A and B are shown apart, each in its own frame.
Chain A
Amino acid sequence: MRILVVGLGLVVLVGGAAAPATAQWLVTDARRIGMGGLSLGRSGSLVRYNPAYRAVQARADRRGQPKVTIPIPLGIIQFLHDHPHLSSDPAFDPKSRGFNPILVVNTILNLPLYLEVKKAPTPTNDVAFVIGEDSLMVNLGLAASLVPEDQFGISGSSRPFAPGFGFKGVRVGVMGWVHDDVEFQLGDTLLGFLRDSQPARHNTRYSALVHGLVEGGFAPTVSYAGRIAGDSTQGFYAGGAVHYYVGVGYARTDGDAGFITGNTIFGGSNPVTPDGRALTQYSKPGNTFGHGVGGDIGVAWVSGPIELGVGVNDIGATITWPDTRQDSAYYRDSTAAGNGSIVSYSVPIANHRETKTKLPVAYIANVAYTVGNTTLGADLLNTGRGGVVHVGGEQRIGLFAVRGGVARDQRKRIEFGFGGGLRFGGLGLDVGFWTHTNSLSNERGITMATSLSIY
């Protein structure tokens, strides 16, 4: 039973938590967390999404930028203390009566890297099910508001490696690239059933649209980044890159899955008929490579205390896959409805067909202002699933630093960051606190991040 709960249950849970997760969980720098996730200088997302920043000096003396940041994973200690026998912990064993899918989801979406100093409380409302011979209604109470009305999912585009060499701002290399995208959208009937407590109807399909895509490969890249005007205190920087994307493999599925109620909902032991259909397309590694051309562009302007930047990635990055196989999958167990038998098949409908995928265009804009020992900044990052805004600052007072910031995540929820740091010569210890909201609660939890910095 609990194993099955994981299935679509995770859809809802992940749906609520996916957006903030993608926006937050990869931040491993307590300084950034203390500033609400703000990227400054050559830290965080700026270099990744703005090619001009490769030429901008780090200026460690001015912004207190460390050369290396090492996270101190106190959260793992806490997690291992709470779950000392992880391999046999019933909460993580789907076969166990003690299996807890909420804990599993929360652990995945909020990796226990940092210490959870205040856990977000989960709603405690009752959930009511009204069942009759020919009726079924679910009232989720306040939790119904957590059922996503719109499309929800997780997506990301990353560049796990980019070795290369350069001279005078020109760089030649090979970049690895990975793109994943998982999306769900509840159908009207299922949404009404779960969110609006509408009674289930006879012979009605309750379903959700499902989309999944993962693709990856490498891209020979030629890029340039340099200061095209001014000097180190006041300069205009530009950067750009041209990628020839080589796709090693991809898989994509678009489907619709759900269940159909029978003539009488509880007329038999099987009140519903599972039903699903999907079009799956894939080009396995070893097939003919996919290919495409795209580019990045960015500019940065540094003028005394002010720094501005804009960068756009993966412009026009459409990958053509010349050797794609397409399968149609269908499943329906109609015995419950009493009008047929199980129908289940997956058949190839085309092979060696040309298909295309598109990498999401990501962009970042940032501004920073530094005067004396004070640094203020803001950035906007959109990786294809909505913008994330960070506004924060840092005040250095002798050995100490005080930080604060605000972030608006992809679901337009406001989160807060605050923290501080202590620096002894070339070594610093930073602590940052960050509020976070997940799908299980409208109240915020607080995470404490710690890291060591080497200057």
Chain B
Amino acid sequence: MRAKWLWVVALSAAAAGCGEGRAIFDIDVFSFLSAANAASLPYFGPLPPGVPDTIPVQTVNSLGIGGSSIVDTVRLTGTVDFENATGTGSVSFQVYFDTVKSTVYTGAPAFSVSGAVTPGATTTSPFDIPNLQDALKPFFLASTVYVGIRASATGTIQGTARLTALRARIVIQDKIF
């Protein structure tokens, strides 16, 4: 409710200019993960028993646009560094979004980034997802979006997957007014 007050103020002036224009939200998702020390996670291949391959679900707070708007596009850009300690193989870095915390990891990932890794080297994998699948777009209308990260290794390898940037650019068609 209180988040909406800020949204109200922002849209108060936006109301005067939106017309048929678009509302564009540029959310620095990385800043939320980084503040919670959840921007990196170790990976192991094969995964030892009892070792998680995911981070605890994290919360990204936004303005809560409301369900009456229509999300046109959600573009995700960023970079993952695979800091490989030992072994040669590949790592898949998967990002999940949901509006329900308990089901973040139950669905398919929003997108994946893969990188081939070699011993003692860091592999930088930038990514640019032009448009998220339609089913996930409405998630970004909520005031809270839950984010999860999973790192899956192929081969006998060990290292750390470190997210260094993740931004979501959400374009909303003007159904607000």
Q: Which A residues form the contact surface with B (CB < 8 A)?
A: 1-2, 4-5, 7-13, 16, 97-98, 100-102, 121-136, 138, 140-144, 146-147, 190, 193-195, 206, 258-259, 264, 266-274, 333, 336, 439-440
Contacts and interface: CB of A to CB of B under 8 A. Distances in A.
Interface of B: 1-28, 31-32, 34-35, 59-68, 143-144, 176-177
Contacts of A190: 9
B47 to A, nearest CB: 30
Nearest to A266: B61
A267 B63 CA distance: 12
A8 B27 contact: no
Given A123-B19, A128-B24, A266-B61, A194 B144 contact: no
Contacts of A11: 12
A1 B76 CA distance: 26
A133 B31 CA distance: 5
Contacts of B64: 1
Question: Binding site of A, secondary structure by majority: helix, strand, loop or mixed?
Answer: mixed
Nearest to A194: B13
B170 to A, nearest CB: 9
A259 B6 contact: yes
Nearest to B2: A270
Given A122-B17, A127-B23, 11 more contacts: A5-B8, A5-B12, A5-B15, A12-B16, A100-B177, A127-B21, A129-B63, A131-B62, A138-B13, A143-B16, A266-B60
A-B complex: 7 closest residue pairs judged by Cβ atoms: A143-B17, A1-B66, A122-B19, A132-B28, A270-B2, A97-B68, A133-B31
24 contacts: A8-B12, A9-B15, A97-B67, A98-B68, A123-B17, A123-B19, A126-B23, A127-B14, A127-B18, A127-B23, A128-B24, A130-B26, A131-B25, A131-B27, A133-B35, A134-B31, A140-B16, A144-B17, A258-B9, A259-B6, A266-B62, A272-B3, A440-B17, A440-B19
Contacts of A269: 3, 59, 61, 143-144
A139 to B, nearest CB: 9
Contacts of B9: 8, 190, 193-194, 206, 258-259
Contact of B17 (A130, A136, A142, A270): A142
Contacts of A133: 28, 31-32, 34-35, 61
A200 B62 CA distance: 14
Contacts of A98: 68
A199 to B, nearest CB: 12
A146 B17 CA distance: 8
Contacts of A122: 17-20
Nearest to B4: A4
Contacts of B8: 4-5, 7-9
Nearest to B6: A272
A271 B2 CA distance: 7
B32 A194 contact: no
Contacts of A135: 28, 31
A11 to B, nearest CB: 6
Contacts of B22: 126-127
Given A269-B143, A271-B3, A131 B63 contact: yes
Nearest to B17: A143
A70 B175 CA distance: 40
A124 B27 CA distance: 22
